[in-house]
Amino acid sequence: MASGDPRFAALADPRYGFFDLDTGHWPMLSCPGELADLLLRAAADEGERLGPSDQAPA
């Protein structure tokens, strides 16, 4: 979002939450327990919310 690219503006919508899971392409194989916990948190509407960028476009 900090790049100012308008294609990313929708990511600042407060209805969307994001999670970061330190894994590769197949989290269901590399960390299934952590993925299950994350999915439960997503169902509970938790997650980091992004806001409009305070930074100037690069």
Per-residue model confidence (pLDDT) at position 52? 60
Our CA angle for 49, 51, 57, nearest 5°, is 135
Instruction: Read off the tokens for 45.
Output: 């509407």
Question: Tell me: the pLDDT tens digits for 2-30?
Answer: 778 888 888 888 888 888 888 888 999 99
Confidence of residue 45 (pLDDT cuts 50, 70, 90): confident
What does the alpha-carbon distance between residue 58 and residue 53 come to, in Å, rounded to a whole number? 12
| 20: number of Cβ within 10 Å | 8
3-state secondary structure of 7: helix
